[in-house]
Amino acid sequence: MIKRIALLAASCFVVLAASAQLTITGTVTDEQDQPLVGANVVIDHTLLGVMTKNDGTFILKNLPPGKYTLFFSFLGYQKLEYPLDLAEPAKLRIRLKPSEIMGDEVIIRGSRASQKDPVTYTNLSYEDIHTDIQTRDIPFLLLNTPSVVATSDAGTGVGYSALRIRGTDASRINVTINGVPFNDSESHEVYWVDVPDIVSSTDNIQIQRGVGSSTQGAAAFGANINFQTIALNPTPNIDVNTTAGSFNTWKTSLNAGTGLINDHFSMDVRLSKIHSDGFIDRASTDLGSAYISGGYFSKKNIIKATFFTGKERTYQAWGGVPSEMLQTNRTFNPYTYKNEVDDYQQDNAQVHWSSQFSQYLDFSLALHYTGGSGYYEQYREGEKLSDYLISPVILGGDTITQSNLVRRKWLNNHFYGGVYTVNYHRKTFSATAGGGINQYAGDHYGRVIWAQFASDAGTDQEYYFSRGIKTDANQFVKINYQFLHKAGLYADMQYRLINYRITGIDDNLSNITQNHQYHFLNPKFGLTYDISDNQRTFVSYSIAHREPTRSNFVDAPANQVIRPEILRDLELGYQLVVRPVSVNLTLYWMDYTDQLILTGQINDVGAPIMVNIPSSFRSGVESAVRINPVKSVQLEFNLTISRNKIRNFTEYVDDWDTGLQRTTTLAVSNLAFSPDIITGGRLTWLIFSDLRFILDSRYVGRQYIDNTSDLTRSLNPYWVNNISFSWTLKPSKINEMVLFLQINNLLNHQYETNAWVYSYYYEGQRSKIDGYFPQAGINFMGGIRVRL
């Protein structure tokens, strides 16, 4: 009897609960009642939001009765706030008015993938980026997206940090800021430490995985990351935030904006200061940065100038911790000289002009300049004076040919150019033409600033100098045609011309003068198909070429030709949106010819070199799931399972007994730093409308340090959990105040995210010298943000 009563009560509860769940449906159109496809519909103070379908319709399900505020937005239209008292199912018809001024989004439209493109991508909105008060660098902000692994030299995420996407390192990831190329022209890297706190001036980010769509700058061999800096805020604003936490880590930043003045003008500024002592001994970081942007906005035109600068001074933690010390001294730093620092400043200036010629046609032009100057300083023991162009020292009857000394290796560089895009878009057809020409000039030189025995050398003895001049021109055309109601065809062709000349002497005093020119055609094709209103699939095939880096050329033996890399990328995607669940699934096959990797081979002076290998590949499946079981809870989960292999790999190992190298051939081996599994999840819970709780979890499988698949030279799998709380208050005369607390590595897991290894044979036994990069155990960060 009791069981029946309980069952009946449970049934009644289910019926009542079900009857209490209501639905909001509707259509979003322009003033001529034409549907707006992809308009955003968001419920304020919840985690619920949708995009309109091909006919402009949307649906929000499983809502309890109550008062709601809905926000409707679409590029080029005024944002609409719509209050709703939901007592029964609601059906809305929303008409959006054209914006009185152009939106900043037009500046980056040409470099972004849209919902209709057959590209694997993830968008991070302003809310995604600024939910927490960010102190750590960009790689750690992107950790919640699929296939990303991040590392930090200092172990705290502040200072030198890096990321990989699908196992691909930063030199193969294309980065643009406001559509302007940002990778270093010679190394192809992006050093996030040179743009401190750029996240505070970022409005949104798109990460395209794989080759992606054509964009400006370096070739994308693993991903594109496209940033848009702060967009126009029409109201005056001041945002002050400060954080402090473990390892004497703190950040203070001030953001301020004028809002729209006289309906046309706006200016935004930011000042930031970041410091951390680091988890690793002496791995301190001091970062300063500034951002200023001002513009003129009208209904048809935007003229906007942006300047941002960063100054970094970091104590070097590049040596890592030897593997035999990981259990006894995880914070070990081999550098003890008090000024073993990296000191660099980078200034970036952009001027953008965007114009809308008609409802269907717009144009953007950007001129840019990046200038950088800095050095890293090192104390060296027992160096040969001849290696620094210093004559031997005669003391009494002794001839001294070696000395302790301090050297600085300098880089002064300039990067400038112009890029443009033209966008034409109709309901069934869109096209983008873009291109640019950019030039880089960089001076590399070294100076001895002190020597125990200096002979006739001055106090700033220059011992090498070289210059790199690189011109990069490109032109691309992208077309998307909806040839059937549910099917679309995508075609993209890019041409790149690269001319790179190096002149002068390298740090080993060898002449490195050389010249290289490349012509690359990079085609991309794809097909999209809407299976139903809530299901979409796509297939794409792309070919990309990447020129070697400066170090690839400079380190290569004189008789060895370094070839460009070629990537063929096949992607198959599927998307399902059945509220409250959305699923994205991608299968990928990335096949490489002449990929450049370390094999253990050395050049004429014994330095390791990267060489072309004939055949390698990455294949896998990526999934990303988002669930909103109730309006106050959101679950996100991503999983990547992959195979990353080299076919017929030959390893070279120095033999100290003979002075030669031993070789070993493997039929198949694993690509270094390419885990077979990466998975992550995030639980977001609005405990109350003003109290948010977030749990982040990340698991990264085993990574091999070299390309031999040897377990003794690998990073163990790791699983890391972080939690955060943010409490939003609205006291009088303050727009918003947020109190924030974050606990990183909640379970105090000991793990390493990066390493290097050098193998050799001595007395017939294989040995190694290595360095691992441990990350901090449990650590804390708290802060406050005030918006006026």
The DSSP result for 584-653, as a single string, is EEEEEEEEEEEEEEEEEEE-TTS-EEEEEEEEEEEEEEEEEEEEEEETTEEEEEEEEEEEEEEEEEEEEE
Q: How confident is the model at residue 3 (pLDDT cuts 50, 70, 90)?
A: very low
pLDDT at site 9: 40
Question: How many percent of the chain have pLDDT more than 90?
Answer: 74
Q: How confident is the model at residue 394 (pLDDT cuts 50, 70, 90)?
A: confident
Beta bridge partners of residue 269, listed in sequence order:
256, 292
Q: How confident is the model at residue 678 (pLDDT cuts 50, 70, 90)?
A: very high
Average pLDDT, the chain: 91
pLDDT of residue 7 exceeding 60: no
Q: What is the mean pLDDT of residues 570-586?
A: 92
Give 537-567 pLDDT, tens digit per residue.
Answer: 999 999 999 999 999 999 988 788 999 999 9
pLDDT at site 558: 79
Name, in order, each residue with C-beta under 8 angstroms of 216's C-beta and a sequence gap of 6 or more.
Answer: 111, 176, 179, 180, 181, 419, 434, 436, 438, 474
This prediction's pTM: 0.90
Name, in order, each residue with C-beta under 8 angstroms of 32's C-beta and a sequence gap of 6 or more.
Answer: none
**Rounded CA gap, 432 and 112, in Å?**
11
Stretch among 40-49, 181-190, 349-358, 628-637 having the lowest mean pLDDT: 40-49
pLDDT at site 97: 86
Per-position DSSP letters for 375-438, written without gaps between them: EEEEEEEEEEGGGGT-PPEEETTEEE-EEEEEEEEEEEEEEEEEEEEEEEE-SSEEEEEEEEEE
Q: How confident is the model at residue 771 (pLDDT cuts 50, 70, 90)?
A: very high
State the sign of the Cα–Cα–Cα–Cα dihedral 151, 227, 699, 673: negative
Number of Cβ within a 10 Å radius of residue 23:
15
**Rounded CA gap, 602 and 505, in Å?**
19
Question: How many percent of the chain have pLDDT more than 70?
Answer: 97
More confident of the two residues 231 and 140: 140
Cis peptide before 580 (omega within 30 of 0): yes
What is the bridge-based pairing of β-strands 402-425 and 487-504? unpaired
pLDDT of residue 5 exceeding 50: no
Q: Distance of alpha carbon 456 from its chain centroid, rounded?
A: 48
pLDDT at site 20: 53
Amino acid of residue 126:
Y
Give 620-632 pLDDT, tens digit per residue.
Answer: 999 999 998 888 8
Q: What is the mean pLDDT of residues 383-399?
A: 89
Q: How confident is the model at residue 47 (pLDDT cuts 50, 70, 90)?
A: low
Helix/strand/coil for 496: strand
